[in-house]
Structure 1
Amino acid sequence: MKIAVDAMGGDHGPKTVIPGVERARDQFPDIEFLLYGDQTKIQQVIKNPQRLTVIATSQVIQDDEEPVKAVRRKKDASMVVAAQAVKAGEADAIFSAGSTGALLAAGLFIIGRIKGIDRPGLTPTLPDFRTGGQFNILDIGANADSKPEYLYQFAILGNYYAKNMRGITHPRIALLNNGTEPDKGNALHKAAYQLIAAEPSLNFIGNIEARELLNGRADVIVTDGFTGNAALKSIEGTALSILSLLKRTILNGGVKSKIGGALLKSSLGGMREQFDYSRYGGAVLLGLKAPVVKTHGTATPAAVYYTISQIHAMLAKNVIDDVVTYFSQNQLTRAPQKKD
């Protein structure tokens, strides 16, 4: 396996990316890495060059740049050249901690969509606190504006990913909405509900409210990118606020509280780990012809390692190749119409 790495992506670039890559390299002897970026900065961080090839590039796409323009203009950007390597068959997947919008643009314009998919959906794996399992949610930001057909395709993609990546025989598919009744929501969600419900290959359990995202009701939750991104950031913010509140309560609660906090230190550490969804890997742009996977710009080397572990599993299980085959054989270019 060969993975193309945008070594300049993220808040700290090679200083964070390379340690995570080296940990993954040591764990998986069947992976080779192509590292794209500033050659001097990358080599300064590398401790062991085994199975690491550095390809020098002269440009970096910043988070504040307009994604499409940046991808088109910066031909020698680390992310762009890495995507071109995947398109040319020189690498099997691309990893980046850089701009989400730019990675989406590079994936669409360089690597390309799977035939039959109108828009790729960005999906992370999140923890389920009730059962200790996980679930996928898509889209969480690749498409701020969506159509019912997009959400239908997200349901198909999420179902396939849950089956082939996570080993779930009949994934429970739910639609994120402002109520559980079938007629709830705006025009987009009402139409999407009808399309998804009419698809016989899906185990569709209906609408789900945001308050039930983390309670294990569904294996795949479908939403538009605007709503999904807001929901994800609400989860992140709530988790940070709870942990901060607990810490502040213990520190301001006197001697007894501090003693209790000391006794609970390991338990609170475990709680923090449960909230850290980066240990399940990065967010996958489902719907493209090769694995395109992103981790957060503030990711630690551990998060980089977990994301590469996820990519390794995707390649080992031929997840994307099988999706391409599935859509080419079934030609799901349009959603089915619900019969009266």
Structure 2
Amino acid sequence: MAADPSKLTGPEQAAVFLMSLGEQAASSVMKHMGPKEVQKVGTAMASLERVSRGQVDYVIQQFSEAVQDQTSLGIGSDEYVRSVLTNALGDKAGGIIDRILLGRNSKGIEALKWLDARSIADIIRNEHPQIVAIVMSHLDPDQAAETLLFLPERMQSDIILRIATLDGVQPQALQELDEILETQLAGKSSAQSSMVGGEQAAANILNFMDGSKEAVVMEGVSQVDEDLAERIQELMFVFANLIDVDDRGIQTLLREINTETLVIALKGADEELRDKILKNMSKRAGEMLREDLEAKGPVRLSDVEAAQKEILAAARRLSESGEIALGGKGGEAML
């Protein structure tokens, strides 16, 4: 963990703050967090060593200032959430706001996030494909991608097609679906539509799929709607788009990747991207990587795709935590 308090990551600050509250209070807070947040903060807690008084004081001071600056006294809670998220996330806030405000009582659907992909697939595999698409749109993209692989192959393209063309779910329909799922799990609002699904959601899910599986699914979508397939493809962030990540972002990403994975991934990269990677390494590390690339014999395409997917997954994790900014297809435009 960083010695300088100001360099603590978000999860590390949350971990320090929660541990300073004591076990009971920390447990109460974490009950209101989602699975992704619990995992990140839990990992940070496990890695905490020798937390200094200065670090604790800094985190508490930051929390105190945030509370004072963002108090919702005199403001309706829904309006406050909308205002804070819109200011923080801009255009990206819409779907998240709907998910929080319209889906905050969605116990059944939200509970699925705590299950493994195979269990989710078992629960939804016999539902109508449109129901499956709605459920998948509520999952995080990586979890949805893994769940899709456990569904029958004949369904996969149809589900992605439905996700891409899904533009809203009426609250009453969402509530009924939620109650059905809650009942199933127990055995083992506003007039607006809840904004889930869409072409970007479909692209995000496909980003996490194995290359060969992704190609099969996209081929199925293309046969039904070629224009839609092209639009989804345009929104996907692929390995070649790493060329649009700035040098600092590439350096941060390289610290998360082992050399063998990088060598295999670069076997399928063009010269421009290779050069970008090499220029962001130390001279010695760059020379060793060149030697490894030259010495590496032929590599199966499936191995190259798997290595590239692993690196892209690391890039997305870093992007979600705010450590790097992804550009190009599927990324946020930088001005």
Higher relative contact order (CA 8 A, sep 6+): 1
TM score, norm. by length of structure 1: 0.28
TM score, norm. by length of structure 2: 0.28
Higher CA-based Rg: 2
- Answer 1 or 2: which has greater helix percent: 2
- Answer 1 or 2: which has greater strand percent: 1
